[in-house]
Amino acid sequence: MRTQVGIVGAGPAGLMLSHLLHLSGVESVVIENKSRKYVEERVRAGVLEQGTVDLMIETGVGTRLKQLGLVHHGVELRFDGRGHRIDFADLTGGKGITIYAQHEVVRDLTDARLADGGQVIFEVDDVSIHDFDGTRLRITYRKDGAPHQIECDFIAGCDGFHGICRPTIPAGVLTAFERVYPFAWLGILAEVAPSSDELIYASHERGFALHSMRSQQLTRLYIQCAPDEQIEAWPDARIWDEMHRRFATHDEWKLHEGPVVQKGITEMRSFVVEPMQYGNLFLAGDAAHIVPPTGAKGLNLAIADVRVLARALAEFYRRGSRDALNRYSDVCLRRVWKVQRFSWWMTSMLHRFEDDNAFDRRRQLAELDYVTNSRAGSQSLAENYVGLPMEL
């Protein structure tokens, strides 16, 4: 098979890239090692920045998002048993975020690609990429046991943190920057109405907790836990007990309980490779960088990368110019590092660290007090949370 851009991975990055390329008249093929059902049901992120929402609507994949997405204009930071609202609309000139599950984004993009005649090939094995430092690039894989090959001009490595594209780049080309956190998140999805209209980020002596949602009937909750925690050690009753303690307030507020329909543990890591390209191979999304989830940025950053990449590839095919392709990594990394900083800062402000002492806790509480009571402090959080402007 021959195409212009071979894309490895049908997550948000790979699918959005394929969609944007199609709109610019550039052909691509996406290959994915999991099944379509698996990727469309995998529970992950849920917060879309304004820019991500606008892009989905402008490019014709926002119909269900407009119907089902929950638009929020603020979040609550809760500490010392009291809630403090950060008013995004007021602080950012009317911007907000939309709660819409990542697997719904993936579903909308897959539907659009297939409806437009695009090729998304699921359940492939033994994927490897070849000759990407030259001009005759190839992706090889197996499907139903039979060998296949895609010849292409460019390869986009959109295969996530554990994918094969980044590790295939020769040693010494990339520099990795990393921080692993001494905690993880235990997340649940519960069949119960959210207990608040907006997200609640709670900093408690016992650790961080987050209240989010997926719909009027589905609540998403997370608590900080040990990094090596086994999910079997957390029967539902223990999870609810811990949630009640961490969200407790001095007023009548109550956390609603309901049947737990999904639970899992997510490790926390900050990771970046520089540069995000080698020859005609371009890394995008989690394949190139990971943020801890506290700022709700992973999915949004993946979308921001492929916006830059789709433009650069379109410019190459339209005008034969490699200028934008050559700048891809530099343009992306400016945003990546700002988002890394924000995600690290939110994580550090809200979690308990194992070596925390009484001084550290007082300092954290002072920071929360400052952020929630100073307009400058709140505004800095708000403008990062709703998403920094795209610089293409």
Which positions are catalytic?
72, 201, 293, 297, 385
- 299 binds, options ligand FAD, ligand DHB, none, Cβ within 5 to 8 A by partner type: ligand FAD
> Between residue 287 and residue 306, which ones bind ligand DHB under the rule CB under 6 A?
293-294, 296
Q: Is residue 293 a contact point for ligand FAD (CB under 6 A)? A: yes
CA dihedral 105, 111, 112, 114 (to 10 degrees): 140
Number of residues near ligand FAD (by CB under 6 A): 30
* From 239, 296, 304, 333, residue interacting with ligand FAD (rule: CB under 6 A): 296
d(CA 41, CA 57): 22
The CB-of-362 to ligand FAD minimum distance in angstroms stands at: 29
Token digits of residue 14:
């790979």
Please choose which of ligand FAD, ligand DHB, none residue 36 contacts, taking the beta carbon within 5 to 8 angstroms, the exact cut-off set by kind: none
Q: Which is nearer to ligand FAD, 226 or 365 (CB)?
A: 226
* Residue 9 binds ligand FAD, judged by CB under 6 A: yes
User: Which phi and psi (to 5°) does residue 332 adopt?
Assistant: -65, -45
Q: Is residue 351 near ligand DHB by the rule CB under 6 A?
A: no
Q: Which CB atom, from 304 or from 312, has the smaller least distance to ligand FAD?
A: 304
102 part of the interface to ligand FAD, by CB under 6 A: yes
Greatest distance between any 2 Cα atoms in the chain: 66
Which of the listed partners (ligand DHB, ligand FAD, none) does 220 bind, with a CB threshold of 5 to 8 Å by partner kind?
A: ligand DHB
Torsion 202-208-211-213 (CA) sign: positive
Only segment of 153-161, 252-260, 275-283, 313-321 that touches ligand FAD (CB under 6 A): 153-161
Of 83, 33, 90, 79, the C-alpha closest to 378 is 90
For the bound state, the minimum distance from the C-beta of residue 12 to ligand FAD, rounded and expressed in Å, comes to 4
Compute the residue count for the chain: 392
298, 304, 307, 381: which one contacts ligand FAD (CB under 6 A)? 298
- Site residues for ligand FAD, 157-186, by CB under 6 A, read 158-160, 163-164
Interface with ligand DHB includes 65 (CB under 6 A)?
no
155 in contact with ligand FAD (CB under 6 A): no
**Subset of 247-276 contacting ligand FAD (CB under 6 A):** 266
* Alpha carbon distance 66, 58 (integer Å): 12
Q: Which does 194 bind (CB under 5 to 8 A by kind): ligand FAD, ligand DHB, none?
A: none
CB closer to ligand DHB, 118 vs 160: 160
Binding partner at 160 among ligand FAD, ligand DHB, none, C-beta below 5 to 8 Å by kind: ligand FAD
Binding residue for ligand FAD (CB under 6 A) from 34, 64, 84, 138? 34
Point out which residues pair with 190 in neighbouring strands: 219, 260
- Residue ranges binding ligand DHB (CB under 6 A): 45-47, 199, 210, 212, 220, 293-294, 296
- Residue ranges binding ligand FAD (CB under 6 A): 8-14, 31-34, 39, 44-45, 102, 127, 158-160, 163-164, 266, 285-286, 293, 296-299, 302
